[in-house]
Structure 1
């Protein structure tokens, strides 16, 4: 018998998750990573020294301006820069957990399972470390990305596209889920004009910087510049390039890797579309999990943090398919978290080839489940 949670109990449990999420992170706030010292702290100082929001007319950072807006807000508040930067990420950690809760609640509308999913996501080692310790902001685009998937399966395609646009405005890595968006468009779950909403949101958020006097060409080219910053095949990422010991022809392999990844993603897209399978909620969740792992696994020049979406969706797919996919979040977390250690602590705790094999095993399990799921008759989204 499924126990129905009372409103008072729901509030207490949700408050407990929020308090636990914050408490775990408080002990990490004092740490200053090299990324923070070399980039974010200098961006903050530049903004503060040049008049707050008016500083956005200058080109001084390699992040898109929505994140710089948040830093600009911090310069007006009586909060230490380090604490403020990390609080921003922690707030989006909570939003990320909220949308994980909402997605899992579609499968378990009664009881406490969705709260367990939210708590699990908020306490993932990579999620805790990324923002509260490292000072990174991957929870921002990930929260909007998970929200976009939620609004998709809730048959709110225009809002889903807005969330995809918000995610893209903060980080380019949301493109890992764009093959899913393409499937949704081709199967008419998202109207094709909705694709225009995604860049439209990005351009709209560029507006304040343009009004401050920013160069529009520089704003529009920020992701192009990011993509060309590093020519290494992998930057501690747990992906296929850990198995390659290449000293020559790295540029050729990188180009081939991009083409191969695009082709592989397109094969999955066309395979799903050609099969005409109904897009049920579990299938959309599985597709999101597959692409969140597959794309950064085969794409070159990936950082260790680029499996952040995989970290989150590995938990969500495990809650949807607990009998067979319970190992997936363990495999992904093992691979993802221990890939952080070379950068944060200057040492390799676990052989990176083993971490890549662990991520590959997770990809195989989720892909296998997707194939099995296509054979099960379930109610399509919106039907």
Structure 2
């Protein structure tokens, strides 16, 4: 049995009698192949078995039946209660049988993911082309819409984005991560408190609660055929919630028309779409937490901001990247009360989240979990198209020497330098509204120049760039939002559709990596310029939404007391 990050030998069984592929079990025999790509989901959660799903083009065998799923040499058969897999004819929700699939009448043929590659690429080309045209001709005073039907237009956009995702999700088989999430959901549903003792998972505890609910619902006869949709649903909802948060914040700063435009930008962004709906990953939920954390921090709600930050770290280890933003603001305030609120919020949240999983565990079990997860991929780049990938370091051992030091050492040096630069800019700006820009610099800098980065770690950058625009009112952040959306999409698309392997230095890798480096350099210039101003430029909105509720409590996105929000010329 392999440890975390190890690939199972041929014929090893992963899963249990309840864990097959994502979809409905069928009684018919079938044969399929499955090629898995990169991911930060590594460990199988039902038998203590771990798989290295981050290895590009790792071929697996799945034998679906009463014995679960078997990893082997790209050959699979199902018997008893096997699960439909890629290449089978399936209807919506992963069901076998007839349906209007891509393969003509009776269902789909071939790999469902590759069948949608061309339409997705065309949609992305149209989206980014429209973005460039609109951004180039952008003039705030020209964006005016009538006062009537504002709510109807907003909910039409959000509803269209939601139902489009829900309509597409059943037909996309997704990444192997969905199978791992399904197994973890079933394990959690069997015994939440015994999740880590009964199985093996490298995911921190928070998202296991979400999988527990999905496992309970998906174990019923009515919903079991739609397990793949249920697994995607939290992140599809997170896409919509994040878009709504951006709209609410924008409506108080830039007016209705631009606010609606930003909501459309996020809801139909191909980089967002491919992650939650096609891949089936959880970065959308994570990004929703980070956006909420930044907004609450700017509103001076330190305690609640710390709660969301702690939840983010307890969901994904890379949440710690955003910790310096909270630290910078606490230092800026120079008061003891915010520190007490932050420490109290972090401690209470951590205890509440980990307590149900702690029975029968070692006292430092959570620390051991994080240490194992962080050290699981000792490579310069794990399919992240960044500086190390640009110079040929994708899947190169991070102990390899690059000039004077190893890749890992250079990565740590860059993390320190990026953090110090961000701190300098935060102090220079002297305003909490700089938090979004600081978070953007941290994630973009760490992703671009640190080691062991995965392809999806840059995902929050698109939303953070929009936040930075709303708080600092510099149009260049909109260009950065579009630029990062493009590189996030290209990186995710290339890995999801298996066009890259460890040894391949392709054109998409080269171009995307170079773009990420150039975007970070441009971001540094923009942040430097914005930090020069000691006051925030904000134009008042005409929205009939008061900045304060009758109770005196701030509404979402309203500035905290004592914060300068006047327009200075």
User: Under a length normalisation based on structure 1, what TM-score does the superposition of the two structures give?
Assistant: 0.87
Structure 1, 171-180 or 83-92: larger mean CA deviation = 171-180
Question: Residue in 2 aligned with 1:242?
Answer: 389
Any residues of structure 2 matched to 1:123-138 within 5 Å, and which?
Answer: 123-138=268-283
Aligned-pair RMSD on alpha carbons?
A: 2.8
CA distance in 2, matches of 1:203, 1:101: 33
CA distance in 2, matches of 1:302, 1:122: 26
CA distance in 2, matches of 1:188, 1:257: 33
SS at 2:532 equivalent: coil
Structure 1, 161-170 or 180-189: larger mean CA deviation = 180-189
CA distance in 2, matches of 1:273, 1:321: 16
Instruction: Report the Cα offset of residue 214 of structure 1.
Output: 5.3
CA distance in 1, matches of 2:473, 2:239: 24
Any residues of structure 2 matched to 1:179-190 within 5 Å, and which?
Answer: 179-188=324-333
- For the pair 1:289 / 2:440, whether they are aligned, the reply is yes
2:458 to 286, 289, 307: 307
Q: 1:350 to 1:340 in 2, by over 3 A?
A: farther
Question: Residue in 2 aligned with 1:230?
Answer: 377
**Maintained 8 Å contact 1:293/1:307:** yes
Question: Residue in 1 aligned with 2:34?
Answer: none
Q: 1:194 to 1:257 in 2, by over 3 A?
A: farther
Question: Residue in 1 aligned with 2:288?
Answer: 143
SS at 1:187 equivalent: helix
Q: 1:300 to 1:56 in 2, by over 3 A?
A: closer
Superposed CA deviations along residues 316-372 of structure 1, whole A, max 9, x for unmatched, are 345654643443123212221111134311104743122111112222222212211
2:235 to 89, 97, 100: 89
CA distance in 1, matches of 2:441, 2:534: 21
Any residues of structure 2 matched to 1:343-382 within 5 Å, and which?
Answer: 343-348=495-500, 350-379=507-536, 382=562
Structure 1 stretches lacking a partner, 5+ long = none
2:418 to 258, 265, 269: 265
Instruction: Report the Cα offset of residue 284 of structure 1.
Output: 2.7
SS at 2:256 equivalent: coil
Structure 1, 219-228 or 79-88: larger mean CA deviation = 219-228
CA distance in 2, matches of 1:106, 1:238: 36
CA distance in 2, matches of 1:199, 1:296: 28
Q: 1:324 to 1:68 in 2, by over 3 A?
A: closer
2:319 to 174, 177, 181: 174
Equivalent pairs counted in the alignment come to 377
CA distance in 2, matches of 1:42, 1:168: 22
- For the pair 1:16 / 2:166, whether they are aligned, the reply is no
Q: 1:245 to 1:202 in 2, by over 3 A?
A: same
Superposed CA deviations along residues 211-268 of structure 1, whole A, max 9, x for unmatched, are 6x55553334322211111111111212111133355742862331342133213321
Structure 2 stretches lacking a partner, 5+ long = 1-140, 501-505, 537-558, 564-569
Instruction: Report the Cα offset of residue 280 of structure 1.
Output: 5.1
**Maintained 8 Å contact 2:310/2:350:** yes
CA distance in 1, matches of 2:160, 2:478: 24
Any residues of structure 2 matched to 1:190-209 within 5 Å, and which?
Answer: 191-196=338-343, 197-209=345-357
SS at 2:533 equivalent: coil
Instruction: Report the Cα offset of residue 51 of structure 1.
Output: 4.6
Structure 1, 67-76 or 314-323: larger mean CA deviation = 314-323
Q: Which has the higher helix share?
A: 1
User: Under a length normalisation based on structure 2, what TM-score does the superposition of the two structures give?
Assistant: 0.61
Question: Residue in 2 aligned with 1:217?
Answer: 364
Superposed CA deviations along residues 164-187 of structure 1, whole A, max 9, x for unmatched, are 112112112222222222211111
- For the pair 1:40 / 2:181, whether they are aligned, the reply is yes
Superposed CA deviations along residues 185-215 of structure 1, whole A, max 9, x for unmatched, are 111178223442335423321122236x555
Question: Residue in 1 aligned with 2:170?
Answer: 29
Question: Residue in 1 aligned with 2:267?
Answer: 122
**Maintained 8 Å contact 1:99/1:150:** no
SS at 2:339 equivalent: coil
**Maintained 8 Å contact 2:187/2:199:** no
SS at 1:148 equivalent: helix
Instruction: For CA contacts below 8 A with separation 6 or more, give which structure has more relative contact order.
Output: 1
**Maintained 8 Å contact 2:170/2:229:** yes
Instruction: Report the Cα offset of residue 306 of structure 1.
Output: 0.2
